[in-house]
Structure 1
Amino acid sequence: MIRLLLAAIAIVLYLVLTFPVLCFLEKKAKKNPEEAGWKSFSMVRWIFKKISQIAGITYEVRGLENIPTDRAVLYVGNHRSYFDIVMGYMTVPGLTGFIAKKEMIKIPLLNRWMDRMNCLFLDRSNIKEGLKTILAGIEKIKGGISMWIFPEGTRNPGENPEKLMEFHEGSLKIAEKSGCPVIPVAMVGTAEVFERHFPWIRPSHVIIEYGKPIYLKELPAENRKFPGAYTREIICSMIKELEEQR
């Protein structure tokens, strides 16, 4: 209970106390978006590291060498916990935005920080609005901002982390239309922090692995037709290996 309270207090204090800084960064972004982006990134990474320490998380990162350093990418990962986002921002090497569910845009202050962090809000129930989000993601990629998406569409509550829900094929349109590489991401141990024993937060060892880049245009025709299913199988295999090593 203490860890949960401390984490909640840390988040609220951060959102309230950094509001003046947020306003400054929003203004600075109009003149120097890259500098404002990196400052925002470093601040969010800092608070996420503090939250992970409060939660008692230890973590191991693998495969950073697989991430191209000369271009933006689309990270595609499994999703079992709110802490997936924490671990993602703590370990990616460059500016990255997450594709979030539309409901998040209603949360005061948090929504403005998410916008600062290049996050996009996806309405899966509205095809037209969903297309706008995909097009915005393509523009982010072209502008050098990597994007991260969870193609399962929601957190997977299943007991077996190796059994992923079906991927929404449209999720990979950002990579298909922009030509950027897809980086498959496998995470294990995040659900054990919070979701497995809600509402308690408990220590866990998290492993996050960044797989080898996938270039959709280079895939065989049968895999190009269903890139989501193809990527899902790769991530399933990665998770199975990680679980065997835990």
Structure 2
Amino acid sequence: MLFAALQHVLPPVLRAVMRPTVEGLHHVPRTGPVIVASNHLSFADSVVLPIVVPRKLVFLAKSDYFTGSGPKGAAVRAWFEGLGMLPVDRDDSRAAIASLDTALGVLARGEAFGIYPEGTRSRDGRLYRGRTGVAHLALTAGCPVVPVGLLGTADLQPVGSRLPRPAHVVVRFGEPITVAGEYDDVPAGRARRDLTDRIMAAIGELSGQESAGIYNDRAVSP
């Protein structure tokens, strides 16, 4: 009951406080499975996106956020559940496979799943090469991918900062990238790479970021 209540209360309250500028929201399907793929600049990205998307948007978050004890642990758990987060154990060697299975379960229920193809936050503001998990999800679920360009979230909550700061945030949604019938005769590996590159190119156009041209292997905890 608390979870459902928070899902109705948190988004409008946070929208009123943050007042993000939102463009292209009509590109997000109101029903059916969809992947919302965004650039990643700040921990705040996972707060901003769920409050502007007009439907439940599920992200994966470290399981540590859901296992705290006492009043603080309960508050943190309620906060993440209220934003539609699901726990994933990133210390498990099988976590990558498990997280993909969890995401496919979300899509199989006809829900929206949020993902950062770069894998981790950009510390220098450049857009890094996308990992092919996003394409695997889209091709397996047969669902569209809506690219998103986030601007200003790095100023809202810089890496290493515990509390948000005043900042102008812009969220740009692009046209959905469809996959149905487009990769039927393409080898799986090539299809995943090509689709991922298409998604990242769309994200780059929306965010205006310089392309790094490499993977972001820098470990950054959310």
Q: Same fold (TM over 0.5)?
A: yes
Partner of 1:99: 60
Deviations 1:80-121 (A, max 9, x none): 112212211221011111122444344422235534654233
Task: With the length of structure 1 as denominator, give the TM-score of the two structures.
Answer: 0.69
Determine the C-alpha separation between the residues in 1 that align with 2:133 and 2:91: 13
Q: Which residue of 1 aligns with 2:198?
A: 230
Amino acid at match of 2:199: T
Q: 2:29 aligns with which of 58, 68, 72?
A: 68
- For residues 135-162 of structure 1, what are the alpha-carbon distances to aligned partners after superposition, in whole Å with 9 as ceiling and x for unaligned? 222222221221101122222111xx3x
2:127 counterpart residue number: 164
Instruction: Give RMSD over aligned pairs.
Output: 2.8
Matches for 1:34-73 after TM superposition, within 5 Å: 36=4, 39-49=5-15, 53=17, 57-73=18-34
Tell me which moved more, 63-72 or 98-107. 98-107
Taking the aligned partners of 2:87 and 2:131, their CA distance within structure 1 comes to: 16
Q: What secondary structure is seen at the aligned counterpart in 1 of 2:114?
A: strand
User: Partners of 2:43 and 2:162 in 1: how far apart?
Assistant: 13
1:132 shift after superposition: 2.5
Q: 2:50 aligns with which of 83, 89, 96?
A: 89
Larger Rg belongs to: 1
Alpha-carbon distance in structure 2 between the residues aligned to 1:78 and 1:201: 19
Percent of aligned pairs sharing the same letter: 24
Aligned-partner Cα distance in 2 for 1:69–1:140:
15
- Structure 2 spans left out of the alignment, 5+ residues: 210-222
Contact (CA 8 Å) 1:122, 1:130: kept in 2 or not?
Answer: no
Distance in 2 between residues matched to 1:117 and 1:58, nearest whole Å: 17
Report the Cα offset of residue 124 of structure 1: 5.2
What one-letter code is carried by the residue in structure 1 that aligns with 2:198? Answer: Y
Aligned to 1:152: 118
Shift in Å, 1:219: 4.1
> Given that residues 120 and 137 in structure 1 are in contact (C-alpha distance below 8 angstroms), is that contact kept between their aligned partners in structure 2?
no
- CA distance 1:100–1:173, shift in 2 (3 Å): farther
Report how many aligned residue pairs link the two structures.
Answer: 199
Aligned residue for 1:29? none
Q: CA deviation at 1:65?
A: 1.2
- 1:126: Cα distance to partner? 4.2
* Equivalent position SS for 1:205: coil
Contact (CA 8 Å) 1:79, 1:154: kept in 2 or not? Answer: yes
CA contact (8 A) 1:135 1:174 kept: no
- Structure with the higher fraction of residues in helix conformation: 1
